[in-house]
C-alpha cells in the first residue's frame, strides 16, 4: 500500500546544485546511463515569481518515485525567462531527495556534461523550499 505523505508531516530534504550547459534531456539521459536511474519528465513546478508573474520549471522524477520511500527529483533551476534562485545563477539544476545524497557528488562529477556539483545553502533556497518540497507530497 502506498504511503500518503501530507504537508503536515515533517520530512528531511537534501539538496545538491548542478552546473551544466547541457539541455535538460541530455543531462537526464547521461545521469540515467551513468547512475542507473530512470528519471523521466514528470511535471512543471509552478512558482509565483512576483505578484503578476507565474513561471514554470521542468521537474524530472525517478520512475519509482510514487512507490518508493526514497524519493529523488531533479528540478530545472532556470528557464528562458528567469532564475528559480536568483542568488544562485550558476545553478542550472537542483537535485532534491528525502534521503542523504552526498554519496552522489563524486559520481555526478564524473558525468561529461556536468561542470560541477555543489552543496546548496538552505538559507538561499528558503524562499522556494515549500514549492519544491510540495513535489514530494502525494
- The whole-number pLDDT of residue 137 equals 63
Structural domain contains residue 68: yes
The edge-to-edge listing of strands for the beta sheet with 53-62 is 39-50, 53-62, 72-76, 93-97, 14-19, 116-119
For the ranges 1-5, 53-57, 88-92, 115-119, the lowest mean pLDDT is seen at 1-5
Instruction: Count the domains in the chain.
Output: 1
Structural domain contains residue 129: yes
Structural domain contains residue 71: yes
Q: If you average pLDDT over every residue of the chain, what do you get?
A: 83
For 48-99, write each residue's pLDDT tens digit: 877 888 888 999 999 888 888 888 999 999 988 788 888 888 999 999 998 9
pLDDT classification of 117: cutoffs 50, 70, 90: very high
* For the chain, percent of residues with pLDDT exceeding 90: 34
In this structure, what C-alpha cell is assigned to residue 117?
A: 556539483
Structural domain contains residue 101: yes
Tell whether the model's pLDDT for residue 22 goes beyond 90: yes
pLDDT classification of 11: cutoffs 50, 70, 90: low
Structural domain contains residue 38: yes
Structural domain contains residue 34: yes
In this structure, what C-alpha cell is assigned to residue 22?
A: 547541457
In this structure, what C-alpha cell is assigned to residue 112?
A: 561529461
Which residue range(s) make up the domain with 54?
A: 18-136
DSSP notation for 24-88: HHHHHHHHHHHH---EEEEEEEEEEEETTEEEEEEEEEETTTTT-SS-EEEEESB-SS-BSSTT-
Structural domain contains residue 111: yes
Structural domain contains residue 9: no
Amino acid at each position: 500500500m502506498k504511503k500518503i505523505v501530507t504537508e503536515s508531516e515533517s520530512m528531511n530534504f537534501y539538496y545538491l546544485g548542478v552546473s551544466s550547459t547541457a539541455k535538460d534531456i541530455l543531462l537526464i539521459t547521461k545521469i540515467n546511463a551513468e547512475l542507473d536511474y530512470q528519471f523521466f519528465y514528470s511535471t512543471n513546478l509552478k512558482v509565483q515569481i512576483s505578484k503578476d508573474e507565474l513561471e514554470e520549471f521542468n521537474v524530472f522524477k525517478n520512475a519509482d518515485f510514487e512507490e518508493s520511500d526514497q524519493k529523488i527529483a531533479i528540478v530545472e533551476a532556470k528557464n528562458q525567462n528567469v532564475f528559480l534562485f536568483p542568488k544562485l545563477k550558476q545553478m542550472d539544476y537542483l537535485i532534491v531527495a528525502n534521503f542523504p545524497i552526498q554519496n552522489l557528488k563524486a559520481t555526478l562529477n564524473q558525468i561529461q556534461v556536468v561542470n560541477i556539483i555543489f552543496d546548496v545553502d538552505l538559507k538561499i533556497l528558503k524562499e522556494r523550499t515549500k514549492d519544491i518540497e510540495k513535489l514530494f507530497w502525494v
